[in-house]
Structure 1
Amino acid sequence: KEIVAPMYDQGYSALLEDLSQRGLLHTTLVANLAEFGRTPRINPAGGRDHWPQCWTVYFAGGGVKGGRVVGRSDEIGAYPVERPVKPAEVVASIFHCLGLELDTHLPGPAGRPFPLVDIGTQPIRELL
């Protein structure tokens, strides 16, 4: 945490500052996410394990309203307690910001169409 987090913070903020200074942030969606969070407690080896129950996503620019927090976890960051966000909503939000119609179907390997996102999935409206 003393090495990786500060390096990440500096790189992420430098990217956003650069995009903003060049007038590109409003047309560039920056999404920072992973497929899982980390356990709220340290494991016996001194690290944290994968934890899919609660995780964090950052969005900036490209059609997203800044300064928003959607949802809330419990006091130790183990479980969502307010407005849980599903991974499909994150994907739908990205596709929406990219200008893709969410009811689009794409051909699969055998030619059978499949939906871009699960039918009925909506973007995270609080961000748009």
Structure 2
Amino acid sequence: MKSKYIADTTVLVDYLRHNESARGFLERERPAVSLVSRAELIHGAKDKPGLRKAMALCDRLEELSFTEVSTKDALRLLETYHLSHGLFFLDALIASTALEHSLTLVTHNTKHFSFIPKLAVGAWTEFA
């Protein structure tokens, strides 16, 4: 593992929208990404050129797959925080992957993750 960060999908979207700060963060820190982020970028693509750009971005970053540990931890997080904090399953998968690899989760939406114990979370603008 090269990076100490895992980027949430929001950071990748900002990069694809030509946000220079997001571009600087991704190019400098080279964070890992979750398979969830790749799937969300595929789902959000509006056309083939957009899809190609999104996949090219993911291909340049280390991609972390789900493991049995991260999947079970995501389910535990979902059970614990879905009702109280509105945690979504895909966010739980990203968070559990970050926890499994001891990575800081960098996101545009810290409120989606800040309540999860032991998870280091930061807004990507703090690192830009």
Q: TM-score, normalised by structure 2?
A: 0.23
Which one has the bigger strand percentage? 1
Relative to its length, the structure with more helix (as a share) is 2
Q: Looking at both structures, which has the greater relative contact order when contacts are Cα pairs under 8 Å and sequence separation is at least 6?
A: 2
> Greater Rg, structure 1 or structure 2?
1
